[in-house]
Structure 1
Amino acid sequence: MDIDNPRAEQPAATVPAKPNFQPLKAHEISDGHVQFRKVTVPQHRYTPLKKVWMEIYNPIFDQMKIDIRMNLKKRRVELKTRTDTPDISNLQKCADFVHAFMLGFDVCDAVALLRLDELYVDSFEIKDVKTLRGEHLSRAIGRLSGKGGKTKFAIENATKTRIVIADSKIHILGSFLNIKIARDSLCSLIMGSPADPNLLLLQLKLNGTSVLLLELQVLSRFYRTTTKLAA
């Protein structure tokens, strides 16, 4: 009489292979619907746009795989996704790139928005810092630029940002930390600080050091919290 041994080796259960799905294309995420972005062209940027149109068109169409056209009737740049657009975020990056050019940034500086994710544009007005009118406003704008643009260039080189001063509006292109340092320096100039390049560079170094120390303190607190939770 044969008795089945319950301890006999059973065939090992085969674990199904982990599925490997390809990332969805831009048109697949939106259920096949085409996504649009529209950037209005100001009157004073229409002629510069015509001169550098191909420098804007090539990286958007060839590298980012986004369709772009100029609507001459409505005077705006129109962008839309394609079936071969690799990432849906490319559309917003291209819109930010075109918008940065409309604000006054050079194409060689604004194109960094397509390549780096941590860059963005911050804008504010002089009246947001201090209410100035007439000649007081003109002197504040002069302090921001400096003689021959020395003050503005010093801030740009020290903080690795790009600054556009358009009348009473100020636009800063850079990373979050660098924009904060540059904005603090610009605000101090608006409030009446002397526009001495040497003093300005010293202030920029001190601001950068204090921000880095603050980040180190936050990271150390986070590390202590995680170690306590792990224990």
Structure 2
Amino acid sequence: MTLTDARLAADDFATDAIDIDQLAEHGYVIVPNFLPRSQCSALYDYAQQLAPQAWQQAGIGRSDNYTTNTAVRQDKIRWLSAQEPLENAYLEMMDQLRVQLNRELFMGLFDYECHLAHYPPGAFYRKHLDAFKGRSNRILTTVFYLNSEWQEADGGQLVIYGERGEVLETVLPEAGKLVVFLSDVFVHEVLAGLRDRFSITGWYRLNTSIGGLVDPTS
């Protein structure tokens, strides 16, 4: 079964699996089984079979400040596109979740962008924020994991920190698990792992278009 074949099942997960109250109260939520194993496997197999040239070295910053720095970030990424059927199925599902979040939390989320992320063994992403207050239209971060049979000893955990630097969560990147958190609130990092680690990281954004240009540089 592919994600495209299972789209109706995905509709149910997208609308029912998120604890909206948890997200509203704490600013983040962890959903252990957002998608069933068959759909995770389809996405995992798809990511694994992509040619090397389909990936690019991930960077930090945006626009004129964008740069690659492997001392900070070592993953490779591929932005999802509606032109690829499997990628589009995931994008459509997450857009349904956007509608639900807007309906229940009045967040005014305008669109969603996301990429596949591949962390080879030993790769990491140091502590960072996904957005800075007043300087980005990224509102909610989502991370969805594709890795089957992942164990604590494999490493690669997502660590989420509180406002005083305390560890709030250490998340094992297990297949089917979705993490959602406020982009400009939670500092987080990805620890080095011992295995190839695949995920899909995305952001729900506000509409800050000017003169028809969405998300203009500043």
- TM-score, normalised to structure 1, is 0.21
* Largest Rg, 1 or 2: 1
> 1 or 2 for the larger relative contact order (CA 8 Å, sep ≥6)?
2
- TM-score, normalised to structure 2, is 0.22
- Greater per-residue strand proportion: 2
